[in-house]
Amino acid sequence: MGQDQTKQQIEKGLQLYQSNQPEKALQVWTRVLEKSADLVGRFRVLGCLVTAHSEMGRYKEMLKFAVVQIDTARELADADFLLESYLNLARSNEKLCEFHKTISYCKTCLGLPGTRASAQLGGQVSLSMGNAFLGLSLFQKALESFEKALRSAHNNDDAMLECRVCCSLGSFYAQVKDYEKALFFPCKAAELVNNYGKGWSLKYRAMSQYHMAVAYRLLGHLGSAMECCEESMKIALQHGDRPLQALCLLCFADIHRSRGDLELSQLKLHCLSERICRSKGLQRELRAHVVRFHECVEETELYCGLCGESIGERNSRLQALPCSHVFHLRCLQKSGPRSCPNCRRSSMKPGFV
């Protein structure tokens, strides 16, 4: 496969990936890697494979391709390519929570001689190092690295990098329990997405919404937290971002726990997990979540006494009557009973529904 054909196939893979067909994109890029003799093209396609596997949560595969990319960069004997490949290696280890290795590879990046790419990638190196320090609970070093990354983003007018740094700062301040700042920085990230992100991947919007949800929950603004988390989950489901799906599930559980509705939190988790498994064709896991969902319904006796459907399976508005029995709002409006269908108490006031 020649240089021009390699470029065409890389572009074809990118188009497939951007149109939400990641598996087909991976097939195209893998064929390029097998057949192309163009080292520069191989380096670029390895970068695509590293990014794709990162966003799909396949971190071991991400690391594998990052190691191959290092070898390719050494063959090319180009400092710019070497810097980029070491950064991808640092990111791979960051995703695998190998934080000491992440810091080591980031220091290797910073120790490389000045390159054309160093101005652009220096901020990303500082961001990855900051995330690793945060993972090790070295808060002062993490903050120093994030501040370096933020300065780099401003100096290079890199709004994408600034957005990512703001999300990491949201996590930082959530951990040190400064919840106002934990909300401020993700809100700044969301503002950047709204102002500059028309051509960006939706992952930046999803990322900012998730961090806003975490901060809102910590501040006790549970309605806003739920809205942001639902928006983030919707994008994560559309784009097959499994790591973000997992984070959103945990956030949903935390929101429900904060509300005190533990039973409904279990129903919500099993419902969302069922959707994820169904979209991925994971039949065994799908059956397990369906069974557990119905077990939870049986245990909590969460049924609508009018239509007989379980409460919590779909996002439906509910209405609690003065006697504390809960029904679908649409069912009460449709039937218009003058007493509770469960206990028959004449406790419904005119115009209550």
How far, rounded to the nearest angstrom, does the alpha carbon of residue 120 sit from its chain's CA centroid? 24
To 5 degrees, how large is the angle CA 60–CA 21–CA 244? 50
Tell me the per-residue pLDDT of 210-230, one tens digit each, with 9 for 90 and over: 999 999 999 999 989 999 999
Report whether pLDDT(233) > 50. yes
Q: In the structure, what pLDDT confidence band is assigned to residue 192 with cuts at 50, 70 and 90?
A: very high
Task: Please state which of the ranges 89-103, 207-221, 222-236, 301-315 shows the lowest mean pLDDT.
Answer: 301-315
Report whether pLDDT(343) > 90. no
The sign of the torsion formed by the CA atoms of 285, 207, 161, 95 equals negative
pTM for the complete prediction? Answer: 0.71
Residue 113 burial (10 A CB sphere; 0-12, 13-18, 19+): exposed
pLDDT at residue 113, as a whole number? 73
Between the alpha carbon of residue 155 and those of residues 64, 148, 149, 324, the distances in Å are 33, 10, 10, 59
Task: Please state which of the ranges 2-6, 22-26, 85-89, 342-346 shows the lowest mean pLDDT.
Answer: 342-346
Tell me the per-residue pLDDT of 312-337, one tens digit each, with 9 for 90 and over: 555 566 666 665 566 777 787 776 65
Give the whole-angstrom CA distance, residue 159 versus residue 167. 12
Q: Nearest to residue 54, comparing CAs of 207, 253, 195, 223?
A: 207
26 three-state secondary structure = helix
Q: Backbone phi, then psi, for 76, in 5-degree steps?
A: -75, -20
